[in-house]
Structure 1
């Protein structure tokens, strides 16, 4: 019976002229006779045997479904999910996280949402992704209109997906009283639609915050020396959005101590690269020890090139330092060659400029560099 329902729903959703909201009830009614309440219906067993939950998951989920006496609505929801293309594992994960999804009415809630999303140009695969990621939000009447707004704001479904993977709470925020006023305020701060989209992809919960919180975020961005309308304002807002003034002050003190910078110098560094405020103290300490003690850079040099603090120590800073050091000590590179210039270029450009020209005299250089990038630091780079 479940496979029959799945087949019917699949045909319904595959038809470009179909209207799930208007026809789904009729099809499900035709697919199965009415089921009388079954007083012996065991929710926990159903969750394990039919939905694929583990016993502990089923025990926890059944507490939210204890009022149910029949599997009929559950079966319809499972058929609906199968018709969208969700795998058994996807369904089990969805039900474990949101057991009450099984209580949703297919014809009254789920099918109209699918019809609305299809009208926005989303494929069945896209919609299946949304079900898995948004869970209970998918059951809200405002889901389609909210999603339409965010699709327009972010530019594409592909841009929306990474944000959804970090959490879907923003989809339940009220557009008229919360989201749109926040967007309007960000525009007043000098951010264009492209900047707002990039900011939201990184800090999407920002738009779901009340307007007073967003005002406070903007004030903190200006307090670290980045005025509204400046090129760095989006980056500053991203960095301080969910940091308190106390945490910002503590991070500034840590930067001063770790890199031996004055108040004025650390202020310039933070205003030029606000993202340093998002780095952990441990990470900053490790980079300080490496750049100052191992590479031999002066604190003032690092302050003039704060982007060094944004690159990965293991994947970029250390492996490239080994290559540059090897080339200089081997007389293959001018000793005055600037380390920062070797770090800032792309991986492709680095290989072309620092690896490829020396393949004949240092045939193992590419191999040793690759090993260093994997964390397998060789005792020394080899000529032969």
Structure 2
């Protein structure tokens, strides 16, 4: 009641502003009143989200633009329901932050069936179910009959119950796909081709969106990838399908192709790199250009040689490529390592291995080597 009184009071004060704007050449009375009503609603909702749901002011302000109500009876009913189900205050805040429209849902018809699905059909513990739903509230918007249950049952048959449960915990995109028209036909096509279960698991867990394509289109993409010479039994096959699926992804692929071409890569170079690491065709122009600029113009490497080891381009330039290459380049100038050192042998090893092999080992001969690795003296190394 206190919040309602405050909002009503503010609305009365803003009415004079509405009258002022009504006479303005820039707004009609209807538009002015509409804007103020909307402002009052958002302020009312935001206050409720902070005081009753535990959201921060910034999150409440953002969420208030996605849900509108002028009566707290329905939201209160939903909050009480969530509390009785066992959701913690932190979990409720997370749910509301991600899906504020849940506050207006019919808890018996809309929310309860999803919770019962996790407990009864999926076999989750109560704690596990609530934790999963708070992390992935989009499940609360999925139909149990048409999405959650059929996808889960199919996943159990393909990868087993434990991993099917893990798909839910992971928030897999697969549960957003129509199972009968798209997901199942597309997965079955991969199985017919001999794609191993571990690769199908990879797709379901990390790039389930590839199965959202119409089966005809999906088969075209798969055939295209096969024609590129990528082995269907390897994980790269799934990664390649992902890189060739979807309009936005294909547009990015084309841009990457153009960038690599500008750096002198031939079509064969680009396709070879794609076969070795498909995600090299899903990078930004800036990432590709900055990495090749350092490797070519600062280290003097042949740009086409990098195509043989496309994984190199995937590494972080500032945190991995520059500091590591700077250290080894200096060591080569001092004759401590061979001048034709391999980029992969320097960039691929784990941090501990690199430190032992190239930093700790040479601290006596090159006292400043640690500072160079930390990025404090790069200008004295590269370019020489």
Q: State TM-score, norm by structure 2.
A: 0.71
Q: Deviations over 1:257-294 (max 9, x none)?
A: 12x12233333222233221111112111112111111
Q: Which residue pairs with 1:137 in the alignment?
A: 140
Taking the aligned partners of 1:334 and 1:133, their CA distance within structure 2 comes to 51
For the Cα contact (< 8 Å) 1:113–1:138, is it kept in 2?
no
Question: Shift of residue 317 of structure 1?
Answer: 1.4
Partner of 1:222: 226
Gaps of 5+ in 2: 1-43
1:205/1:332 CA distance change after superposition, 3 Å = same
Assess if the C-alpha contact under 8 Å between 2:194 and 2:233 holds in 1. Answer: yes
Deviates more, 1:225-234 or 1:187-196: 225-234
The 2-side partners of 1:266 and 1:136 are apart by 40
Q: In the alignment, what sits opposite 2:96? A: 92
TM-score, normalised with respect to structure 1: 0.71
Name 2:7's counterpart in structure 1. none
Shift of 1:206: 1.8
Distance in 2, matches of 1:277 and 1:139, equals 33
Higher relative contact order (CA 8 A, sep 6+): 1
Query: 5 Å matches for 1:343-382?
Result: 343-369=347-373, 371-372=374-375, 378-380=378-380
The answer as to whether partners of 2:274 and 2:281 remain within 8 angstroms in 1 is yes
- Equivalent residue for 1:29? none
When residues 147 and 97 of structure 1 are mapped into structure 2, their CA distance, relative to the original with a 3 A threshold, is farther
Q: Kindly report the root-mean-square deviation, in angstroms, between the aligned alpha carbons of the 2 structures.
A: 3.6
Partner of 1:317: 321
Identify which range, 315-324 or 153-162, moves more after superposition.
153-162
1:146 match: 151
In the aligned structure 1, how far is the partner of 2:273 from the partner of 2:93? 48
- Determine the structure 2 residue equivalent to 1:127: 130
Q: Find runs of 4+ consecutive structure 1 residues off by over 6 angstroms.
A: none
Q: CA offset at residue 255 of structure 1?
A: 1.3
Distance 1:379 1:295, change over 3 A: closer
Deviations 1:166-196 (A, max 9, x none): xx65324333333222211111233111011
Question: Please, which moves more after superposition, 229-238 or 290-299?
Answer: 229-238
C-alpha distance in 1 between matches for 2:87 and 2:153: 20
Q: How does 1:225-236 map to 2 (within 5 A)?
A: 225-226=229-230, 228-229=232-233, 232-236=236-240
Matched residue count: 327
Match of 2:340 in 1: 336
Counterpart Cα distance in 1 of 2:165 and 2:119: 20
Gaps of at least 5 residues in structure 1 are: 1-42
Report whether the alignment pairs 1:294 with 2:298.
yes
Greater shift, 349-358 or 49-58, is seen at 49-58
Q: SS of the residue aligned with 2:301?
A: coil
Aligned to 1:160: 167
User: Contact 2:315–2:321 (CA<8 Å) still a contact in 1?
Assistant: yes
